[in-house]
Structure 1
Amino acid sequence: MERKLSIFIAAFFIFLMLFISVILISEYRNMDRLKSKNPSIPEKNYNYRKSALKLWAVNLVIKFLVPVLLLATGISNRIWLFAEGKGRNIFFAGIIYVVIFSIIDLLITLPTDYYGFVLRHRYGLSDQTIYRWLELNLKNFILNTIVFSLVIWFPYYLMRISPNRWWLYLGLLAIPVIAFVNFISPTYIDPIFNKYIAVDKGNDDLGRDIKKLLDKAGVGDADIFIVDKSRDTNTLNAYMTGIWSSKRIVLWDTTVNKMEREEVLSVTAHEIGHYVLGHIWKGIVLGGLFSVLLVYLIYKTSNWMLVRSNGSFGFTKIYSIASLPLFIFVLNMYMFLGNPIANFVSRHMEREADAYEINLTKDREAAISAMIKLSEESLSIPRPSEIYKIWFYTHPPVEERIEFFEKVNIQEDSP
């Protein structure tokens, strides 16, 4: 391994540890300030956040350390040589490699996943049984392994036949692939994990109120579903998902059960805002464009690292499936560094949906009380440190959103 590569990897991990230290220091100081300014916030919220931050730090290190160790020790290459010897061709060898790789990944991440399960129970955020937790983990493992093992050969085939342009072909495929996944997920994938019940917009009281809201927004044909998330969590949420005939608004049953009707309607109006403002499609297009740049950066960086490894990884060709941990490391690195940009866009869309929500319902009080309940049930704090917000917050902080609802001028002639 060339000295340049050793320095690059060491420098990245030094940066990562410094970053984690800055985040933890900033968050702890922020919580101290919040305690003095907001004495009404339960100590439980702060204790949970501290525990969650420690778990986040461990998971972040694991995300980068494991791929590097699989490369540096030659384990990835040995797995591939075994798979290549057992498989009749790249397709079957790829399946064997992915299955073994997925099992290793599961065993490494299972302890922290279980600690997250324990943490949620300790703070009353979940009543999920251990059997349900195991069921979801097993389903997730099987689904991911099947899909990944069936498609892994394709990018490596492109690398072999077009070593200089494979990144472009994969990047251009991103938009149709993301669109396809968004189309099939609500109908075929999500129901594997939870039960979805369509809201009766004609007979049910809540359904009729939601129907009026949809008609007012001009999207009366939109489907509304309630999902049985109370099996897994005590927190509240709602989301917009799907495209074309699979598009729908999904309310967690915890949201419906713990909120007043006006609050549920306010939350629904927010999701209608995402629907009307085209945020799903904007996300798909922006995600596709970002993917082209991302795959190009992966192509350049992975090749640079492989050349300077001088065969220390056990392979010298980028189209060897043994290079998968190399791609994972580089992908994680650029996704991590690109977080501030992606989350800035996400927060902007959430602000747009907040504005649409309150202009659709004209109910300032419901918007504020719904936000307070969402925050209380998830043990949130009013705001994070600025660096944590920039790097990790997909939504504006609760404090900002409540302040917006309090001060915004409601447009009487809107929807």
Structure 2
Amino acid sequence: MKKIIKWSVISYILFGLFIAWYLFYGANTDIPTNLKGSAADPETFMNDQQLLLSEEYSQIKNLLYFLSIPFEWLIYIVVLVVGLSAKFREWSKATSKFSILQTAIYLFWLSLIVEVLSFPFQWVSYSVSKKYNITVQTTSSWMKDNMIDFWVNYAMMIIIIAVVFWLIRKSTKRWWFYAWLLSVPFSFFLMFVQPVLIDPLYNDFYPLTNKELETKILALADKADIPADHVYEVNMSAKTNSLNAYVTGVGSNSRIVLWDTTLNRLSENEILFIMAHEMGHYVMKHIYIGIAGYLVLTLIGLYIINKLMQVMVKKWGKVFKVSSIQDIAVLPLFLLLISMLSFASDPISNAVSRHQEKDADLYALEMTNDKEAAVSSFQELSRAGLSQVNPPYLVKLFRYGHPTMLERLTYTNEYEQE
């Protein structure tokens, strides 16, 4: 037990030191010489203070990201090894004789301890964003969103974990395949209800007040054969200075959404370019390709998790105080493996996403034929979010689902419509 904890902590510290060195000293974020003075050079659209702040802010946020994920792994390891998971199991069994209630009670204690121990990272991240004027959300509002997050995730996890462990107990060998089969309709269901049930818990959505702009956006949607009757506006200015727009949902619940910060800071042509980009995702069916890719990775991941759990429980079951994978106390190991495999697969999923985002950019350029609006919108996105134009390579691999601003500005500037 002591060895596992000791080496886990040592590994975490060494990883943290490496990441800190890499982000602050080892990574090269300079603009290539041949792009100096071009539209992709941040010195042409950021002042000295913005350049300094974007570098500092990005470094700190990236460090927090790379430290927070393995810290969650460390929590799961400690919860298993010191016997807390077994204690939660005993408390749940002593409280109720019904399996679903036992799962809910166990999951509450596990979720609570993970939330409490992870809270310092969340607080520092919020404080940094507020210091650099990216976040303008009040502390009470931020705490409210955190509480909503906790309870929404907890409610969904009760259903998911109850079903998964019921399948494990019914079919120890093939549970992973049956769980994957059930994840297919569940994923589509979540995408269908998110715009109308989940998103409104955090923000207020209402029809776009600028009807002239809405008419132009809907004309673009009609040109792209997108069945949309309304464009929605969301009041994000109470929380952030960042910009965003998106198309969400599936089927009859699909909707076009604009952050009010985007409406306030971008020109009409820039907004139309951004919306054409989002419509490109719809037209090229990126959302369905993304779901298909997610389901393939989920199938492979569940198969690997099943194999690893069997081996690890057999080898370290006594240390974990877990008798078999049917024991709910093995859940921290299950979540640990999910998180680790998800992190390991991020470079693949991000690479696919970056390819799709580039296609959507090119689609928007073709649709609007407005290269100047594209360039200026990307530059404003960089300024508003204080994002690095040329981030470190590891950051791009693990964090960037979009091409870097250097890449987007470069291929946009070089774009020529056939």
TM-score for the superposition, normalised by structure 2: 0.91
Corresponding residue for residue 205 of structure 1: 212
Q: Secondary structure at the match of 1:33?
A: coil
Q: Is the 8 A contact 2:27 2:393 kept in 1?
A: no
Aligned-partner Cα distance in 1 for 2:10–2:360: 38
Q: Secondary structure at the match of 1:249?
A: strand
Give the counterpart of 1:393 among 376, 390, 400.
Answer: 400
Aligned-partner Cα distance in 1 for 2:374–2:11: 43
Corresponding residue for residue 65 of structure 1: 74
Q: Secondary structure at the match of 1:225?
A: strand
Give the counterpart of 1:228 among 223, 235, 243.
Answer: 235
Aligned-partner Cα distance in 1 for 2:271–2:17: 37
Give the counterpart of 1:321 among 314, 328, 345.
Answer: 328
Change beyond 3 A, Cα 1:304–1:277? same
Worse-superposed segment, 46-55 or 378-387 = 46-55
Corresponding residue for residue 377 of structure 2: 370
Give the total of aligned pairs.
406
- The unaligned stretches of length 5 or more in structure 2 are 37-41
- Shift in Å, 1:125: 0.5
Q: For 1:116-148, what per-residue CA distance to the aligned partner results, in whole angstroms no more than 9, with x for missing partners?
A: 111111001121011101111111112222222
Aligned-partner Cα distance in 2 for 1:140–1:35: 41
Please state if 1:168 is matched with 2:177: yes
Corresponding residue for residue 286 of structure 2: 279
Corresponding residue for residue 33 of structure 1: 30
Corresponding residue for residue 404 of structure 1: 411
Please state if 1:289 is matched with 2:296: yes
Aligned-partner Cα distance in 1 for 2:75–2:19: 23
- Shift in Å, 1:259: 0.6
Q: Secondary structure at the match of 1:221?
A: coil
Corresponding residue for residue 39 of structure 2: none
Amino acid at match of 1:144: N
Aligned-partner Cα distance in 1 for 2:227–2:317: 61
Q: Secondary structure at the match of 1:128?
A: coil
Change beyond 3 A, Cα 1:296–1:270? same
Aligned-partner Cα distance in 2 for 1:176–1:399: 38
Aligned-partner Cα distance in 1 for 2:32–2:134: 22
Please state if 1:250 is matched with 2:257: yes
Alignment of 1:7-406 (within 5 A): 10=7, 14=11, 17-18=14-15, 21=18, 24-25=21-22, 28-30=25-27, 33-34=30-31, 42-199=51-208, 204-221=211-228, 223-406=230-413
Aligned-partner Cα distance in 2 for 1:272–1:334: 31
- Runs of 4+ in structure 1 deviating by more than 6 angstroms, as ranges, are none
Aligned-partner Cα distance in 2 for 1:86–1:184: 33
Change beyond 3 A, Cα 1:401–1:178? same
- The unaligned stretches of length 5 or more in structure 1 are none
Amino acid at match of 2:150: F
Q: Is the 8 A contact 1:94 1:152 kept in 2?
A: yes
Q: Secondary structure at the match of 1:312?
A: helix
Q: Is the 8 A contact 1:167 1:299 kept in 2?
A: yes
Aligned-partner Cα distance in 2 for 1:249–1:196: 11
Q: For 1:236-285, what per-residue CA distance to the aligned partner results, in whole angstroms no more than 9, with x for missing partners?
A: 01122110011122111100111111101110000000111101111111
Q: Percent identity?
A: 30
Aligned-partner Cα distance in 2 for 1:20–1:218: 51
TM-score for the superposition, normalised by structure 1: 0.91
Aligned-partner Cα distance in 1 for 2:94–2:336: 26
Amino acid at match of 1:355: L
Instruction: Name the Cα RMSD after superposition.
Output: 2.5
- Shift in Å, 1:32: 6.2
Change beyond 3 A, Cα 1:77–1:282? same
Q: Is the 8 A contact 1:214 1:272 kept in 2?
A: yes
Q: Secondary structure at the match of 1:301?
A: helix
Q: For 1:207-257, what per-residue CA distance to the aligned partner results, in whole angstroms no more than 9, with x for missing partners?
A: 111122112222253642111111211100112211001112211110011
Aligned-partner Cα distance in 2 for 1:317–1:326: 12
Change beyond 3 A, Cα 1:28–1:256? farther
Worse-superposed segment, 165-174 or 394-403 = 165-174
Q: Is the 8 A contact 1:175 1:285 kept in 2?
A: no
- Shift in Å, 1:20: 6.6
Q: For 1:128-175, what per-residue CA distance to the aligned partner results, in whole angstroms no more than 9, with x for missing partners?
A: 011101111111112222222244221101101100000011112222
Amino acid at match of 1:302: M
Change beyond 3 A, Cα 1:408–1:181? same
Q: Is the 8 A contact 2:20 2:63 kept in 1?
A: no
Worse-superposed segment, 387-396 or 51-60 = 51-60
- Shift in Å, 1:19: 8.1
Amino acid at match of 1:402: L
Worse-superposed segment, 283-292 or 31-40 = 31-40
Aligned-partner Cα distance in 1 for 2:230–2:296: 29
- Shift in Å, 1:390: 2.0
Amino acid at match of 1:295: L
